[in-house]
Structure 1
Amino acid sequence: MDIKSDGYEIQIADSASITYTGKEVTPAIKVVRTDESKEETVLDENKYETAYSDNVNAGTAKVTVKGKENEGVTGELTKEFTISPASLKDAAVTVANKSATYTGTAVKPAVTVELGGKVLKENTDYKVSYANNKNVGTAEITVTGIGNYTDTAKATFSIVVGTSDIKTSSVYNKVSLSWGKVTGASGYKIYRSTSKDSGYKAIKTVKSGATVNYNDTKVTFNQTYYYKVRAYRIVGDKAVFGEYSPVSKQKVKVGTSSVKRTASASTTSYNAVTVKWSKVNGANGYKVYRSTSVNGTYKALKVIANATSYTDKTTTCGTTYYYKVRAYRLSGKTKCYGDLSKAKSGRALPGTTTIKASSECFQTKVNLKWVKVYGASGYEIYRSTSKSGKYTLVKNIKSGRTVKWTNSGLKKGQYYYYKIRAYRTVDGKKLYGGYSNRFRKGTAGWKYINGLKLYYDAQGKLVKDVSKIIGKQSSYVIKVNKKMNVVTVYAKDGDNGYIIPVKSFVCSGGAATPVGTFYTPAKYRWQTLMGPCYGQWCTRIHGGVLFHSVFYSTRSNSTLSVNAYNKLGTTCSHGCVRLRAGDAKWIYDNCRLRTKVIIYNSSSVGPFGKPKAAKLASWHTWDPTDPTARSKCKARGCH
């Protein structure tokens, strides 16, 4: 029997309800023949073999029936059937984030789709689309079947206003709040309570999403408050709020200081550390703490009212200490403290010395002088031939009392630079102070010539005014050469006496000017002279003899005797020593009473020669060297 030629066909049971399951679909079949009377003859299933193909995924599948020849059946039949996609109507859709934070852009949380205990794959089994997923409110998710699935499943999620942490700090009269900016926020509402878990009341509505700080000034010192904040966004005409921030606890107290620096106290101490800290608003004082290790136990050293520094005199030279400070404010009689500052280390060391300006430079040597450092065991002197070059140790002074040293044998015309640092020996180890200021020996310098100490510049030219080089001295000797009408001022060179010519002035003496040695007894800003006329910056030499400016007809700097001024350098006075106003003022300002004045006659004008005074026009009735009349010269453009 040939099943095909004999009119048999395959019938598939319930073909309309065949759907995708993810497994092979093998619907029940039967092989039948229908005769003219419409009676069916069903072929015994033992007489044929059945095979299925393309029967897993949704689409067209086939079943093939082949007769068993050993059963007397031949031939082959094929029948197609359809596997329908599975419906997602009953699928479970899980949203990864049911409450998403507003970002200002479309929010697309991931989803998980499960059907019949099987987790489906996106873009293989389904596609996802979102709606209303940008603004605050309820967004929708639609899952649409593809491939082996059909129909849709829905889910929703919320887009909410974000939240952030709040931070607080205080000074004595306010609490400062700050929080993270929340994307899309129209503003923030701040709440406060004196209890952590209840009693919160809104104290401020901030109507700008960009403002993320607020100062609460309605607070009581030494009171503890609790704060929280939440953002809101205006949707339509309604404010939609986010979640509350975590609570921040804040006690109203003085602010936190910071230790700005620690240093060995000064050249007068080797076992003290000075601690300086920043001032705290509203503080009545500070407490200083100390430890010998940064994370060790800190012990209170001192309570200090209204100061921002303290010198710890209980230190050991060479030991490193760590200091902290905290401010306090009085509440009644109670000291209410702020937080401790961060630690800063300090070490007691010998002080830093200073090379004195009175150090002297000569052509091939330098006489260094420095400030004594208390407690120093000695000093190390370093030298370099360039300002920023390498400094080499050239001398170890092994006595803390020695404060000068001469470096001889230097190369003429070479620059040398010096630094000095003090040291103290503790347990056989040198503990150093800081390096001193830098001192330069240039190509200029001092020379001893004919019993005088003279200063020459880098070009070998005699400097005729060394007042700025040596600075103001404690004493001078003034020598007046009556014959040559020259005044020369001398300074002291240690045990060598007054052999440093400082500067010289042109003058006018008179026949009555006495010769001899005198000591100045008095000074006068203005003094009446013969005539009467008047002199400025007068220093009495002896009796009625004075150093004074060229005279004026009145006590006015605009009534100068131009004729007398133009005679400076000649013998024309009544016995006083006339000077330019600026020169008279220098003696008045720099030479204290009891200054020695020697008046003598000599044909030698002195080490600096005889200065010249400019001649004045008849209208120039003021002294151009007079500091009180400089504005007149400036206005006229004459000097």
Structure 2
Amino acid sequence: MKKKQYSLVGLFIVALLFNIAFIFNVNVFADTLSSNYQPVIDNVNKTADSVELRWHVSDDDYYYFNIYRATSKDGDYQLLSQSYFPYYTDYNFSAGVHYFYKIETVYFDENDDLQTSEAIFVEDVFTPLAVPTLKTATAVKSHGIALSWNGTNDSQGYEVYRSTTSNGSYSLIKTVKTTSFDYYMAPYSYTNKKLTVGKTYYYKIRAYVTYDNVKYYSNFSTVKYAQVRTDSAKITTTYSKKPKTNTLYWKKISDGNGYVIYYSTKYNGKYKKLATLKGNNKLHYTHKKVKNGKAYYYKVYSYKTVSGKMLLSVEPGYYEKYCNYYSFENEPYDSRIQRLFGNSKTAWYKTSKIANKNMKTVRIKVWDRTTGGKKYTRHFYVTVNKGLAPSVKKMFKEIYKTKERFPIHDIGCYNWRGNGSASEHCIGTAFDINSNENYMIDNGQILAGSFWKPKKSKYSIPLKCPLVKILNKYGFERGFWGNRKDYMHFSYLGT
């Protein structure tokens, strides 16, 4: 009985060993099959907005591949795609974000059951955000500092940081977002206002993108800095109250200690210092020895004394001012109207009564000829627009002093010619000189005067002569209008 019992036990052990061997071989086969389908990464090609993954497997009898992505190695991997090919391009890829991928193969086993291989991991695929270039930090009005920088086309916005020392602690002060309209535009700008005058501030910026409500950043830009300054003075009014002068008036800068005035003869030329005025209540300055009819360009800085040194204000805009005590050639139209009527809204007198109140009679000295041809001095009393009276006296004084000594035997200016008349004689801005010998014609037909013969008549005014040159110098043009030519007529407004 014992021998038979041992035989049964032996059979049981042999069967158990056989089953163990079978199971072991099956597991080894399964592991070998799975490893044949495990992906092997061949290449990772990344750009600022995409990443291409390529891989291979030993056994090409696969079904498809699962591609997953997370933003950390141990994060939540989300299925991106199922690909039937051993490559995939992720176009929803943003520079500045760290990505982690895993790829697994789906295949059929020997029983035609779907199986999944072990995953292969692609760790930390990353393209850094481009660093924005902080170009300038400039002191501007309202106690501000204006920043400008070049944008980058892979960011969604920028963060601006500020410190009071170069290597100190920087704090976030502004976030500037891009939009669909300015995503690719540059430069960007931001003005930090209401700062302390005399204090220096330091700035740096960085770009960012947002993915799954998390911000990812570029490196910081280089640091730019600027010192806060007072506002510049704004010129409000200018006058030429006396010959060869320009007087400027400007608004008070309450936190300044004074003003510095500069000028140039070109708006973009080199500016020279005229004067430094101590005290912020000095709000005007007269520039002397300037040339009539010439444009001058002015800038008025305020300044503040900081640590014993003069700190000029922010850069002022220029102000153009002609020396216009006397009328002049090429004088702007609005300047002429202002001279005549005292404002820019009025351009004519409605009645003779109003016109008469705005006229002034001046005494001028001219040359004339006797019947024998000898030149002699005579005087005329001419009524002109009171705004032109100083210019007219100056103009005829120069005419009298010329070597030409052009003879004038009759001259007229103001003459009210009716409420509907458009003649400049109605506003005292036109001269008729030697009206008989300098006719007005239209298409060859004589409308006024008798003739114009400058080579024969000493009273006929040539096209070019010192008399004409000086009249032009003070802004009076001859009455030539196409086919109509008025040789006696010289007007201030050109009509």
* TM-score using structure 2 length: 0.43
More helix, by proportion = 2
More strand, by proportion = 1
* TM-score using structure 1 length: 0.35
